[in-house]
Structures are given as structure tokens and as C-alpha cells.
Amino acid sequence: MFLLLAGLLSFRAEAQHTSPEGFRLSWNNAISVERDTLLIAGANLPSWSITVHETSAKAALDLWRIDVSPNAVRLRGSQPMVATGVKLGSAFMAPVDVHAVSTHDRLSSDATLTLVFVSLGHDERLEGIMRDLSVRLNRALVQEQIDAITKDKSDSGRDLEREQKNEAKLGKRLDKANWNLETTLRQKSRTQQAVANRQGDLNRQERRVAGAASPRQLKRLTRSRRSLTGDQRQLARQMRDVAAPRGRSTSSRATCRTARPRSRLSAPART
């Protein structure tokens, strides 16, 4: 029980010091070079080991492959990976063959890279070369982490910008829908007034021709009834537009047609 609790506390403490991508927020690891031995073809050969922090065995070996490629004649294999004809710089005149093996520690999440410099053994000059290699590989890995975080933030920034543009477009559509609604309400009010005027005019004409009407009066009455019917239809369309969801009109003509009572029929007709 105590070990489980200690593990949970350690996990929480580690989580507080890592980025959302799982990278450590502070790099305070030690750069160390250790003399070691590596079993190759049944023989224990003198080797050198370094730690590549926060990476897998495969990634550590890939980093070394990229680093050694410019100075090697050929690269082949994996676990061990063999680089032939490697130039080590001014400290060593003749090229050498190098065997590389990597392992991973699950507890620390670090990788260990072990190199065998054929025929050089534990030459002291190799310690400085391995230390420089450790710095380069860990620096390259940290740069990869920075690039990954930068890319994620860049992608997030683009997503945010896209969402803001979409929100602005929706805002414009809503403003336009509100304007259309207000226009339709004004048109509806004018049409209602026009219908009321026409209805009153029609009622007066019908009362005047209740007894006997001349052909001229009947023609005028028929024309007034048609005009009233047209205004009533227009009013019905505008009422549907008001009831429809915003940003959507059931009648395209309702928002662009202004209902105005005809001046000829806005006042009572003469008999």
C-alpha cells in the first residue's frame, strides 16, 4: 500500500513538471560518459555509453545515425547498427568502424546509447568525443520537442483564428437576419394599414351601390376587391416571414417589396 501511494505521489509530481505533450519543462539532466563493455559476435568488446534523455531506444539510435552519417562511408543494420569508415576528427587520423546499440529504461524514460570503436578500446581521447556526442544528441532531441510544441501551438492558433472568422461570419449573418426581420415587420405594419384602408374603402363603395349600381361603379368595386385580395396575400407572406426562423425567409419577395397603398384608393372613392 505504501509503495502504491508513493508511486501515485511521484506520478503527480512528475505530471506537474511536464508539458501537455509529456516533455519535461526543465532540462537539468547530467551529461555523463561511462566506460562499458558490449557483447558482439560472442566477444565482450570495450565500449562507451551515454544517456539520451526522454526518448526511446529506436529514437536514440536514429539520432546517432543522423549525426554520424556525414562522417561515415556506410551505415547498415540495427541493434547493432554498424557505421564503417567513420572519421573521428583530428585526434584520430585513420577512419574506424563503430558498432552502436541502444536500450530504453522505462522507469526514467531515458535511452542509453552504447558505442564500440573497433580497435580503439577505451582510448582516453574517445571520452571527449563521446561527451560532445552526448551534448549534440540531447540538444537535437530538445530541439525536436520545441519544434513539436511550436507546431502544436501554431496549429492551435490557426484553429482559433478559423473559429474567430467563423464566429464573425455568423455574427454578420445574425445582424443581416435581424435587419431583414425589422424590415419585414415594418412592411407588415404598412401592409396592415393598407389592407385596413382598402377594406374601409370597399365597405363604403358597397354601401353606395347596395341599391342600383352603374357599370362604372361595379367596375371600380371589382378593382377595389382585387386590390384588397392582393394586399391580403402580401400580408400573409409577410406574416409567414416574421414567423420563420431568423436568417431564413419563406418569401424572397416579401423582403424586397414595399407594400404601399395606392394613392388612388387610399381615400374614399367618389361616386
**Domain ranges (residues) in the chain:** 29-152, 171-271
Q: Hunting for cell 419563406 — which residue is that?
A: 250
Considering only 8-17, 194-203, 238-247, which range has the smallest mean pLDDT?
8-17
Q: Considering only the top CATH level, what class is 29-152?
A: alpha beta
The mean per-residue pLDDT over the stretch 81-95 comes to 93
- With CA atoms as reference, report the closest residue to 265 among 236, 241, 230: 230
* pLDDT for res 95: 95
* pLDDT for res 133: 95
Q: Is the pLDDT of residue 256 over 70?
A: no
Between 125-208 and 57-68, two packed helices, what is the crossing angle to 10 degrees? 110
* pLDDT for res 90: 86
Range 235-263 burial, b when 16+ CB lie within 10 A, else e = bebbbebeeeeeeebebeebbeeebebee
* % of the chain surpassing 90 pLDDT: 35
pLDDT digits (tens, 9 = 90+) for 163-198: 777 777 777 777 777 777 778 778 778 887 877 887
Which triple of cell numbers denotes residue 233? 396575400
Q: Is the pLDDT of residue 27 over 70?
A: no
CB atoms within 10 A of CB 39: 12
